[in-house]
A and B are shown apart, each in its own frame.
Chain A
Amino acid sequence: METKTNYIRGTLGQNYDEYNRILQTAQTNPEILKDDNVEAKINFFLRINERLAYSVGLPYGSFLVQFNDTLNKLFIYYCTETENQVEAHGKLVLNYLTVKRMKTISKEILKLYNTYIGRSSISNITEANSVIDSFVLPLVNFLPTFSKAIPEVKEAEFLNLLTTIFEKLNIALKPELVSTFLSSVF
């Protein structure tokens, strides 16, 4: 498993270092995340990872687990920023390139999770539990952001991700978790 993680890490090369550098800087200066160049780099990093998740499948999780926490924080940050922009300037800002870039990053994060879970060939309950513990349970933090958001800001990919979770992990999903997800959607 460690060899696979190192191989994926090697494939990403300096993109992973760049991503970590951006996030370290963002801890002291969150405004950097609104920079066009930074947004483009994050977007590029996410797209490479999505393709990796597609090709590698379940073992990709051992690499994703190293930075999924930061992905979740990024998702919440960009969703909240988009909401703030809409509140301050109206729905028209959704057509602005700056806001579109933020929405693209949120979408790419959801797409990455969706591809990873969808492409994982989960054959037993232990594997399913491991995916749920590492990636699905932290997604519960997205729910308040999703249910509070105005319709135009809500990402359709989130519904797609829930569909994939229900289909692929149904053998191990606890009823309480399903109810939590359902109550945020309806």
Chain B
Amino acid sequence: MITTDFNSFPEHRTNFFALLKSIIKYNFQQLYNMPEDKFHTIMNCIVWSIKHELSTFSDLGLDLLYDTLQNLTSSIEIMNIFYGRYFLSLLRDLFEVLTDGFHKSGFKLQCRILFCMCKVLTSGFVTYFVNGS
């Protein structure tokens, strides 16, 4: 109901992202254990919010993505699966908001996320890119 545009149902939108934030913070494991298509929907929600024109939502989206990446560090296996699925698309989306000029308010967090992703590549923990694709 909130993916068709950026403006409808503002109250639902705000509450939905607050809910997503609390799930990522407290119940990330259950979130990750959800069926693949549903987890994919959640990741799409996060990416979608990063691209939102209002800085309130785009900064919240960056926060959510950063928390998600931080939660992944608990398991190398989960890291491998997650980055195998989302690394390239996340990198593309991140560069999109970094360079479009509309999301300057999130520059600091965008760089932090980029740093996180580069660190994953150089850490050697994620072997998917070498073995998997």
* A positions within 8 Å CB-CB of B: 151, 154, 156-157, 159-160, 162-163, 166-167, 170, 173, 175, 178-179, 182-183, 185-186
Contact = CB atoms under 8 A, between A and B. Distances in A.
B122 to A, nearest CB: 33
A159 B22 contact: no
Given A151-B1, A173-B27, A185-B16, 5 more contacts: A156-B11, A159-B19, A163-B15, A167-B22, A186-B38
Q: Interface centre among A162, A163, A175, A183, by most B CB within 10 Å? A: A163
A159 B27 contact: no
Contacts of B21: 163
Given A151-B1, A186-B41, A163 B22 contact: yes
B30 A179 contact: yes
B27 A170 contact: yes
Contacts, number: 60
Contacts of B34: 179, 182-183, 186
Interface of B: 1, 9, 11-12, 14-16, 18-19, 21-23, 25-27, 29-31, 33-34, 38, 41-42
A185 B33 CA distance: 15
Contact of A166 (B16, B26, B38, B41): B26
A182 B15 contact: no
Contact of B33 (A151, A154, A157, A179): A179
B54 to A, nearest CB: 17
A182 B30 contact: yes
A186 B19 contact: no
Nearest to B35: A183
Contacts of B16: 159, 185
A151 B15 contact: no
